[in-house]
Amino acid sequence: MGNDEMSSLVDTSDEWIRQRSGIQRRHIASEAETTSVLGAEAARQALKAAGLAPDDIDLIVCATSTPDLTFPATATQIQMALGMSHGAAFDVQAVCSGFVFALATADKFLISGSHRSALVIGSETFSRILDWTDRATCVLFGDGAAAVVITAEPGAGTIADRGVLHTHIRSDGRHRDKLYVDGGPGSNGKVGHLRMEGREVFKHAVVNLADTVEHTLAATGLKGSDIDWFVPHQANKRIIDATAHKLGVPESRVVYTVQDHGNTSAASIPLALATAVGDGRIQRGQLVLVEGMGGGFTWGSALIRW
């Protein structure tokens, strides 16, 4: 759905949306395309790219805030769609930081030795929780899904190893009212709509994202200039630019996809990874830094050697 189509629904314009967010279009799932349907398709593509079959996977972690149902977990519906009845599947809910939280969770399961290969999926149908009469929010979000496979392998224990090298996750529940959904099974029994204080979220995003990236760099002894690709959560081009500027990362090493799918919450980082791997920018052995922030507030980052 392009910005012009959006301006036929609410009092907005292509110019306003592009200037304030960098978004040019977003994708809206059809009625039959639930979060688990999108997530299962992303999982199939990730398995194909990894040269693995569902039998090789023993863990599925799905990051989503728009589950098909209140329960069971969307991850178990994806598990079923992949024809798997072994292993474990569960959801992680950290809104736009969901992928970083899911990756950190799966990584720790693999490090512990309890599981060997994980599908980490970000899948969302945010179009279903938007207030389509609120121009301040409905123009910013879209639907999508993407996935990665991570597999445990012995390494040297240094940053020369391939895979997830470091993860850092944070949350602060005091900011609930700045970004939330005004419904839920335990409160009013409704699905609810997304509510946001955009300016407040913007301010916190830049500070928190720079902080988590600096934490990850300090923990690994790296500098911003050592990172080959900076793959941020795709909420808003201005947030990405301001964070990259604060960290001294040049625009040429930042992956932007927000223009093509808006903010897809937990799906946005893996969608950006898939884009930059698909077009050959991210190469085997390169250092990739991902970061995200979302409702809660939650935020976090991960350093990956591809």
Q: Write out the catalytic residue numbers.
A: 96, 233, 263
Nearer of residues 133 and 225 to ligand ACO, judged by Cβ:
133
By CB under 6 A, tell whether 233 contacts ligand ACO.
Answer: yes
Q: Which range touches ligand ACO (CB under 6 A), out of 16-24, 102-110, 124-132, 156-164? A: 16-24
DSSP for 67-115, written as a single string: -SSSSS-HHHHHHHHTT--SSEEEEE--GGGHHHHHHHHHHHHHHHTS-
Q: What is the C-alpha to C-alpha distance for residues 155 and 286, in angstroms, rounded to an integer?
A: 16
By CB under 6 A, tell whether 23 contacts ligand ACO.
Answer: no
Query: Is 20 strand, coil or helix?
Result: helix
Backbone angles phi, psi at 113, to 5 degrees: 90, 0
- Residues 268-297 touching ligand ACO, rule: CB under 6 A, are 293-294
Q: How far is CA 55 from the centre of its chain?
A: 25
| Smallest gap from residue 233 Cβ to ligand ACO (A) | 6
Q: Which residues contact 92 (CB under 8 A, 6 or more apart)?
A: 61, 62, 63, 98, 101, 102, 105
Q: Which range touches ligand ACO (CB under 6 A), out of 14-22, 41-49, 54-62, 160-168? A: 14-22
Q: What is the C-alpha to C-alpha distance for residues 21 and 140, in angstroms, rounded to an integer?
A: 7
Q: Which range touches ligand ACO (CB under 6 A), out of 117-125, 153-161, 235-243, 274-282? A: 235-243
Which ranges constitute the DSSP H helices of the chain? 3-6, 14-21, 35-50, 74-81, 98-112, 135-138, 198-220, 237-247, 258-261, 268-278
Q: What is the C-alpha to C-alpha distance for residues 44 and 51, in angstroms, rounded to an integer?
A: 10
| Smallest gap from residue 228 Cβ to ligand ACO (A) | 23
Joined tokens for residue 195: 């509510």
| Smallest gap from residue 270 Cβ to ligand ACO (A) | 15
What is the pattern of x (binds ligand ACO, CB under 6 A) and - over residues 76-105?
--------------------x---------
Q: Which range touches ligand ACO (CB under 6 A), out of 34-42, 43-51, 117-125, 131-139? A: 131-139
Residue 265 in contact with residue 95, Cβ under 8 Å? yes
Q: Which of 63, 89, 129, 179 binds ligand ACO (CB under 6 A)?
A: 179
By CB under 6 A, tell whether 236 contacts ligand ACO.
Answer: yes
Size of residue set near ligand ACO by CB under 6 A: 22
What is the pattern of x (binds ligand ACO, CB under 6 A) and - over residues 180-219?
----------------x-xx-xx--x--------------
Beta bridge partners of 125: 143
| Ramachandran region, residue 270 (left: φ > 0; alpha: ψ -120 to 50; beta: rest) | alpha
Residues of this chain that bind ligand ACO (CB under 6 A): 12, 16, 20-21, 96, 135-136, 139, 179, 196, 198-199, 201-202, 205, 233, 235-236, 239, 263, 293-294
